[in-house]
Amino acid sequence: MLKTIDDIILYSYTKDMNNIVKINPHFNSELTTVLFDLERLRYQQLEGTITPWLFFDLKEIVHLVESVASARIEGNRTTVIGAANDIIENQQETNNESVKELRNIRRGIEFIETHLKDKGKISEGFIRELHKIAIKELSDDGSKTPGKFRTEDVKISKSAHKPPSHLEVPSLMQELVEYINEPLDSKFDILKTATAHHRFAAIHPFDNGNGRTARLLTYAMLAEQRFIDDQGFRLLNPASIFCIDREEYFRQLANADKSTPSGMEEWCLYVAKGIQQEAARITRLLDKKFAVTKLIAPALKNARVNKYISESEHEILQIAMEKDVFQARDVKHLFGTSASATVQTSRVLTGMKRKGLIMALPNNKKKYAMRFANNHLLRDVLSGMDDNGLLPITNNTKD
């Protein structure tokens, strides 16, 4: 079992992929300082400021941004708002390759979370399934052999790194999976995640879709390590680490390819600092007072002005924000005191459920919570996030 930082094997590769390099960051190094801070953040409680309804809708938005960020690294120019429109329109069929790519990444995230909740492990089969999901129904940027390792040697465009022969891929991937599942003191989890990301990219095991699969694998490792956790109300956009400056991402990967301890330590620092910055961004987003005041309330106001919602719907949603969970009796007074008020209240609440503005709680269908991740409020919430510096990517296509 790996127990000390001297025991951590960090892979960096020569052309034959056989060179293994160890790093030993100094106790006072920047990397060690960031790792200590991340270990603190992983178990930090958010002091009850976040409520379940707010968390799970924000989680949907985080997944949306994650899919756009990962796709944009590959050159997909879809905007965050464009992706939001796809959710709002909810079209089942599309011929748009960019939209398909985004949907695939979101499906990959959902698969990861379901798999890990079922206590599944990150196995070779799991990685193959991530690849199949990432390239599903894509023609321009798809794969000839979904979920299967490549059977030809390849070159990486605009990269000096030469991936290993396809004959080596099966054994190298087996080695990588063993490394991912090697018991290790949790304080070294980020180093393992950074190393695995680079290792996967260097092996380049599939004929296409390797970048998207590598970022989904990173998401899976961070979720397994509880940096992303429903129970702890912790979220991350792992792809945000790499998408803010895609050229820097590729430069750092190339630097790690040099097979030197300094190159690998710089790569690990790059990943660790990215996670640290993203954790700080998400922590701010998950503060209820901030989220309601800066994001949701302005979105409600704008939705009313643009007549996406009615006056009564607006008033009900205001009450929903205040109470977190509400019942019909909490809003019945909005419809007067006549005998028909109960019927009218029920009719409006049913319509709001159909629009996705509210949801009935799974364990009590007479109680409701607000929704904003799958309706016309979503665009304005995203705009508010952008205005407050909470999106890792901008809403335009010129960046």
- For residues 274 and 304, membership in a common domain is answered with no
| CA neighbor of 14 nearest in space, from 214, 181, 168, 233 | 168
Final residue belonging to a domain, choices 260, 285, 310: 285
In this structure, is residue 395 part of a structural domain?
A: no
| 159 — pLDDT class (breaks 50, 70, 90) | confident
- For residues 79 and 152, membership in a common domain is answered with yes
- For residues 116 and 90, membership in a common domain is answered with yes
- For residues 241 and 303, membership in a common domain is answered with no
In this structure, is residue 399 part of a structural domain?
A: no
Q: What is the pLDDT of residue 45?
A: 62
Residues 220-248 have pLDDT tens digits of: 999 999 899 887 788 888 888 888 888 99
Asked if the model's pLDDT at residue 297 lies above 90, the reply is: yes
Q: How far apart are CA 73 and CA 99, in angstroms?
A: 15
Q: What is the pLDDT of residue 396?
A: 52
- For residues 139 and 61, membership in a common domain is answered with yes
- For residues 253 and 221, membership in a common domain is answered with yes
Q: What is the pLDDT of residue 42?
A: 82
| 21 — pLDDT class (breaks 50, 70, 90) | low
The whole-chain average pLDDT of the chain stands at 87
Look at the chain and count its residues.
Answer: 399
Q: What is the pLDDT of residue 1?
A: 42
Least confident among 15-24, 170-179, 389-398: 15-24
CB 263 within 8 A of CB 256: yes
Segment 263-280 mean pLDDT: 92
Domain CATH number, residue 115: 1.10.3290.10
What tokens does 336 get?
């007067």
Asked if the model's pLDDT at residue 106 lies above 70, the reply is: yes
In this structure, is residue 397 part of a structural domain?
A: no
What tokens does 369 get?
């919570």
In this structure, is residue 398 part of a structural domain?
A: no
- For residues 334 and 273, membership in a common domain is answered with no
Q: What is the pLDDT of residue 25?
A: 75
- For residues 116 and 202, membership in a common domain is answered with yes
- For residues 27 and 124, membership in a common domain is answered with yes
- For residues 347 and 280, membership in a common domain is answered with no
Final residue belonging to a domain, choices 285, 312, 347: 285
> Is pLDDT larger for residue 25 or for residue 31?
31
Q: What is the pLDDT of residue 394?
A: 62
Residues 117-137 have pLDDT tens digits of: 888 899 999 999 999 999 998
Global pTM value: 0.87
346 to 330, 355, 361: CA distances (angstroms): 12, 14, 16
Asked if the model's pLDDT at residue 215 lies above 70, the reply is: yes
Q: The domain containing residue 315 runs over which residues?
A: 288-387
| 199 — pLDDT class (breaks 50, 70, 90) | very high
Domain CATH number, residue 292: 1.10.10.10
**Beta-carbon contacts of residue 82 (< 8 Å; ≥ 6 apart):** none
- For residues 49 and 176, membership in a common domain is answered with yes
Final residue belonging to a domain, choices 251, 285, 319: 285
> What Rg value do the Cα atoms of the chain yield, rounded?
23
User: How many distinct structural domains can be found in the chain?
Assistant: 2
Asked if the model's pLDDT at residue 14 lies above 50, the reply is: no
Residues 317-347 have pLDDT tens digits of: 999 999 999 999 999 999 998 889 999 999 9
- For residues 339 and 378, membership in a common domain is answered with yes
Asked if the model's pLDDT at residue 162 lies above 80, the reply is: yes
Question: Which amino acid does the sequence have at 14?
Answer: T
Per-residue b or e along 72-95, where b marks 16 or more CB atoms closer than 10 Å to that residue's CB: bbeebebbbbbbbebbeeeeeeee
Question: What are the two backbone dihedrals, phi and then psi, of residue 121, each rounded to the nearest 5 degrees?
Answer: -105, 160
Question: Which amino acid does the sequence have at 284?
Answer: R
Q: Per residue, what are the HEC states of 275-326?
A: HHHHHHHHHHHCCHHHHHHHHHHHHHHHHHHCCCCCHHHHHHHHHHHHHCCE
Question: Is residue 21 helix, strand or coil?
Answer: strand
In this structure, is residue 307 part of a structural domain?
A: yes
